[in-house]
Structure 1
C-alpha cells in the first residue's frame, strides 16, 4: 500500500471510529436523560399535583412522597428492599409490585453500566481520532459525527412519533421487549403503584426525556455541522465518511 492509499485507509478508519463512537455517546446521552428525568423528584411532585395522585391512590401526600422516595432509592440501590409499612402495619407495595421492581432495578443498573461503557469507549474512540494526525482527522470526524447523530436522531424521532400517536401501544411494546414475564401487568383496583403512575404520567415522562435528549443531540450535531462548514469555507482538506 503506497503513501496516499495508506492515508486514505487511515482516514476511513477515522470515519468508522467516529461513527461507532458517536453511536455509543449518543445512546449514553439518551440513558443519562432517562436517568435524569426518572429521578427528578420535582417532576414527580408536579405530576402528582396536576393529577391529584394522592387522592386517586387513596393515601396522604406525605405517604405518597415517602413511597416515591423509597421506590427511587430502591432502584438506585440505596435501599435493599421496597418494604414500607403504612397505617396499621400494612405494606404499601404488594409482593407482585416488589417482584416487578426487581426486574426494573436490574434493567436500570444494566442501562447505567451500558451508559458508563458507552461514554468511556466512545470517548476513547473520539480521542483516538484526534491523536491520528489531528488536522487531517478533523474533517472526516466532524462529518461522520454529524451524519451518524442525524441517523440516531431519526430513529428516536420515529419512537417519539410512535409514542405520540399511540402511547399505549408503545408502552406495552416496550415492556414486551425488556421484560420476560407479565409482572408489569398490574390491576389498578388493587395496585397502588399503577395508580401512582398512570399512563399520562409516563407519557409526560417520555416527552420530557425526548425533549432533553433532542436538545442535547441536535445541539451537538448542529455544532459539528457548523464547524465542518467553516473548515470547508477556509479551505481545509475534506474527506468523506466512507
Structure 2
C-alpha cells in the first residue's frame, strides 16, 4: 500500500472522527436534556425554584418543562404555555423569554442537523472503506489496521481538546457562560430579570453548571468507549 493511500486513509479517518465526535456531543446533550428520568424535578428541588415562583406546584412546573423541551425539539409550534400560578391561570413565559427560547431552539435544531451530517459522513466513510477494501486481501488487511488507528488518533486529539476546554471553563463557569451566550446569540434577550422572567428562576446558573457537568460526563463515557473499542480492534 503506498504512502499516499495511507495518508488519505488517515486523513479521512480523522475527518470522520471530527464529525462523529460532534454527533456524540449532540447525543450527550439529548441524553441529559431528554432521556434522564426525574432530572428536572431533582434540579428544581435542589435549587428550590418553587420558592422563587408565584404559588405553583411541582407537577404543573414539570408540565411546563415538558412543553418547553418539546418546543426546543421542534415538536411544538410555539411557547405560549399556560399554567396555574398564584391561583391564576396564566401564560408562563413572557414575550422576551419566548423570543430568547426561539433562538435557543435554533441551536437545538442546528445541533440535530449537525448530528445527521456526522452520521451520514461516517456511513459514507464506512461504505467507501468497505468497497475499496474488497478489491484485495492486502487492502482489506491494511484497512483493518489503518482505520482503527486513524480513528484512535482523531478521537484522542479531539478528546484532549475537549478536556482542555472543560478544564478552562470549570475555572470560571460564570465567565464562560456569558462568553457562550455572546458567541451564539446576536442579541441580549438572554439577559433575563428574575423579578419578571420565570425562565431564569427555574433554570438558575447552578442548574446550567450541573447540566454541563453531566453532559461532559456522558460525552466522556461515549468517546472513551469508542476510543477503547478502536484500540482493541487495532
TM-score (norm 2): 0.90
| Alignment match of 1:48 (pick from 44, 47, 53) | 44
**Aligned positions of 1:139-150 closer than 5 A:** 139-150=145-156
Q: RMSD across aligned C-alpha pairs, in angstroms?
A: 1.5
Q: Which residue of 1 aligns with 2:136?
A: none
Cα distance, 1:189 vs structure 2: 1.6
For structure 2, list consecutive stretches of 5 or more residues without a partner in the other structure: 134-139
Cα distance, 1:148 vs structure 2: 0.8
Is the CA contact 2:22–2:115 (under 8 Å) kept in the aligned structure 1?
Answer: yes
* Separation (CA, whole Å) in 1 of partners of 2:178 and 2:37: 25
For structure 1, list consecutive stretches of 5 or more residues without a partner in the other structure: 229-242
Cα distance, 1:128 vs structure 2: 1.9
Q: Which residue of 2 aligns with 1:136?
A: 142
**What do the CA deviations read for 1:7-36 (whole angstroms, capped 9, x no partner)?**
332222111111111111111111111122
Is the CA contact 1:82–1:93 (under 8 Å) kept in the aligned structure 2?
Answer: yes
Is the CA contact 1:187–1:194 (under 8 Å) kept in the aligned structure 2?
Answer: yes
* Separation (CA, whole Å) in 1 of partners of 2:126 and 2:216: 25
Q: Which residue of 1 aligns with 2:12?
A: 17
Is the CA contact 1:21–1:123 (under 8 Å) kept in the aligned structure 2?
Answer: no
Q: Which residue of 2 aligns with 1:161?
A: 167
TM-score (norm 1): 0.87
* Separation (CA, whole Å) in 1 of partners of 2:12 and 2:128: 8
**Aligned positions of 1:1-242 closer than 5 A:** 7-39=2-34, 40-58=36-54, 59-87=56-84, 88-133=88-133, 134-228=140-234
* Separation (CA, whole Å) in 2 of partners of 1:57 and 1:150: 45
Is the CA contact 1:18–1:141 (under 8 Å) kept in the aligned structure 2?
Answer: yes
* Separation (CA, whole Å) in 2 of partners of 1:114 and 1:155: 19
**SS of the residue aligned with 2:82?**
coil
